[in-house]
Amino acid sequence: MVFASPIFLFAFLPIFLLVYYISPRFMRSMIILLGSSLFYAWWRLDFLFMLYAIIGGSWLIALLIERYRDNPNAKWFLRVGVSANLLTLGYYKYYNFGVSSFHSMLESFGLEPATGIVEVLLPIGISFFVFHAISYIVDVWRQDTPATKNLFDFAAFITLFPHLIAGPVLRYKDLAWQFTSRTHSYDKFSEGAYRFMCGFAKKVLIADSVAPLADAAFALENPTMADAWLGTIAYTIQLYYDFAGYSEMAVGLALMMGFRFIENFNNPYISRSITEFWRRWHISLSTWLRDYLYIPLGGSRKGKVRTYINLFLTMLLGGLWHGANWTFILWGAWHGIILAIERIVGVDPNAPESILKRYSTMFMTFIFVMIGWVLFRAHSVESAFAFYYAMLGMNGIGLSDALIWQVKGIHLVAMFAGLLLVFIAPHFEKNRIPVELSKGSMAMQTKPGMIIQVAVFALFIVAVTRLIAMSYSPFLYFQF
């Protein structure tokens, strides 16, 4: 089930909220677990049991870590818990990739690949809920949060449907107290509804409207320079409004249930460096990678050369987390190399700059990000480099006839509206108030004016009308 679907909007959500609010407080974790299980099982019932196994195993491991913390062999519980989760993720997400790469190697040596190997189906959202489980186990080991004895609260945290299948990547310590003392109010519910409508409009009116243009450009056999750059810009807008829209819907749904999530996006396309970009894009993942990968690797504590290597490895593995394809590995390497170079030359995202330098560095960063998105979008390394070849004008410069007939006015309007909103949206977000969730984690409280609320509601109605007319509106990040 997806947020941008009639079954969710007109059946699941209203029924769930009704049952949730008429239930006694002590039963609400159970209601969350049951409702979220139905939400996930709507796609595949069998994978629900795999999700339950991850929940039960991680919960038990954390209790054992806390109980036997003083035992010299207690670290083995940590190793077993983290390894079991990583092996589960590795099997489902990278088995097909490993087999395919092995077959390609055999063929390169003139050998026949094995036959009869069954492909493994990737469970939706496995990358996210495995990371949730790992962070919980590690945080209990670090004593950043106590192990909960309430299995229903922990199960409700992992399965909480707003973040279950596409994030944000949350930590139990940020929500633990909210399971016992969260507040429910009209103001909080209305704020959540507003945030949900904002994200829904971004997803349906911008991302879905731009998607056909990006798909058409990347499907061309010999795109021209104009084709390639138009497709790249379209995909850049599509990906941002698709994922940021989903994240905003998740934040809104959580607020409607009394939870407050950390923000996942903070206007990333106005960044003046790749370092700043990763402080603004997919914030929950970048902080997860920092705290559970970059810092354990040594961070910046072991000398300059090791710092550069750690930055590169963190982004390389972050790319691999996004998908089992060499394109994602190269995308991670691209960002890792730039981050290391920025650290070498001493780029400071917070340094004051002249207006000219500010906009020139912003433009350059935007170009670097778009170049990386080509790898993110392409189906193979070969097709990605063929697209780069086209971006350099090697197949001609002007728009090709193969693309012109597929370009519609709504595609261009949505793309330019998305670009414009990238730069003007920050001016409308000055009404946000920081809210501390736990040490090192911040959320934002939004208090929009009446005019903005009316405008967003009108756009939401238009988006719902358009959704009903569409056959399907998937989210890009479900494949990760």
The 3-state secondary structure of the chain, one letter per residue = CCCCCHHHHHHHHHHHHHHHHHCCHHHHHHHHHHHHHHHHHCCCCHHHHHHHHHHHHHHHHHHHHHHCCCCCCCHHHHHHHHHHHHHHHHHHHHHHHHHHHHHHHHHHCCCCCCCCCCCCCCCCCHHHHHHHHHHHHHHHHCCCCCCCCCHHHHHHHHHCCCCCCCCCCCCHHHHHHHHHHCCCCHHHHHHHHHHHHHHHHHHHHHHHHHHHHHHHHHHCCCCCHHHHHHHHHHHHHHHHHHHHHHHHHHHHHHHHCCCCCCCCCCCHHHCCCHHHHHHHCCHHHHHHHHHHHHCCCCCCCCCHHHHHHHHHHHHHHHHHHHCCCHHHHHHHHHHHHHHHHHHHHCCCCCCCCCHHHHHHHHHHHHHHHHHHHHHHHCCCHHHHHHHHHHHCCECECCCCHHHHCCCCHHHHHHHHHHHHHHHHHHHHCCCEEEEEEECCEEEEEECCCHHHHHHHHHHHHHHHHHHHHCCCCCCHHHHC
CA terminus-to-terminus distance, the chain: 16
Does position 61 have pLDDT exceeding 90, yes or no?
yes
Closest C-alpha among 371, 327, 362, 359 to residue 231:
371
pLDDT band at residue 43 under the 50/70/90 scheme = confident
Of 340 and 436, more confident: 340
- Torsional class of 115: left (φ above 0), alpha (ψ -120 to 50), beta (otherwise): beta
Using CA atoms, how far residue 286 sits from 106, 220, 375, 453, in Å, is 36, 33, 19, 31
Is cis: bond before 168, omega within 30 of 0?
yes
The yes-or-no verdict on residue 439 having pLDDT over 70 is no
Q: Are 401 and 220 in contact (CB under 8 A)?
A: no
**Entry pTM:** 0.92
Least confident window among 234-238, 260-264, 339-343, 425-429: 425-429
Judged against a pLDDT cut of 80, whether residue 262 lies above it is answered with yes
Region 313-331: mean pLDDT is: 93
Distance of alpha carbon 16 from alpha carbon 8, whole angstroms: 10
In total, the chain counts a number of residues equal to 480
What is the structure's pLDDT at 477? 63
Output the pLDDT for position 95.
85
Angle at 384 between CA 378 and CA 386, to 5 degrees: 135
Least confident of 63-72, 114-123, 154-163, 448-457: 114-123
Mean pLDDT calculated for residue range 28-50: 91
pLDDT at 430 over 90: no
Q: Which of 322, 379, 411, 427 is catalytic?
A: 322
265 touches 244 (CB < 8 A): yes
Q: What's the whole-number mean pLDDT along residues 39-47?
A: 88
Q: Quick one: average pLDDT of 224-234?
A: 96
Q: Which residues contact 355 (CB under 8 A, 6 or more apart)?
A: none
471 pLDDT above the threshold of 80: no
Which phi and psi (to 5°) does residue 228 adopt? -65, -45
**What Rg, from alpha-carbon coordinates, does the chain have?**
23
- CA 103, CA 177: separation in Å to the nearest integer? 50
Using the predicted structure, report yes or no on whether residue 116 has a pLDDT greater than 70.
no
In the predicted model, is pLDDT for residue 31 greater than 80?
A: yes
Least confident of 10-24, 101-115, 132-146, 298-312: 101-115
Buried b (16+ CB within 10 A) or exposed e, 205-241: bbbbbbbbbbebbbebeebbbbbbbbbbbbbbbbbbb
Among 101, 103, 105, smallest CA distance to 116 is for 103
Nearest-CA neighbor of 220 among 445, 453, 406? 406
Most confident of 96-105, 106-115, 156-165, 422-431: 156-165
Least confident of 75-79, 115-119, 333-337, 405-409: 115-119
pLDDT at 472: 64
Judge whether 322 counts as a catalytic residue: yes
Per-residue tokens: 281: 């894009």
Given pLDDT bands bounded at 50, 70 and 90, which one contains residue 328?
A: very high
pLDDT at 9 over 90: yes
**pLDDT tens column, 349-392:** 777 778 888 889 999 999 999 999 999 999 999 999 999 999 99
Contacts with 267 (C-beta within 8 Å, 6 or more apart), sequence order: 280, 422, 425, 426, 429
Contact 209, 324 (CB under 8 A): no
Query: Diameter of the chain by CA atoms?
Result: 71
Report residue 346 as tokens: 């001493």
Mean local confidence (pLDDT), 446-461: 90
Q: What per-residue confidence (pLDDT) applies to 381?
A: 94
Q: Quick one: pLDDT band at residue 122, thresholds 50, 70, 90?
A: confident
Q: What is the pLDDT of residues 150-198, one digit of tens each?
A: 999 999 999 999 999 887 999 998 888 898 888 899 999 999 999 999 9
Residue 474's pLDDT is 67
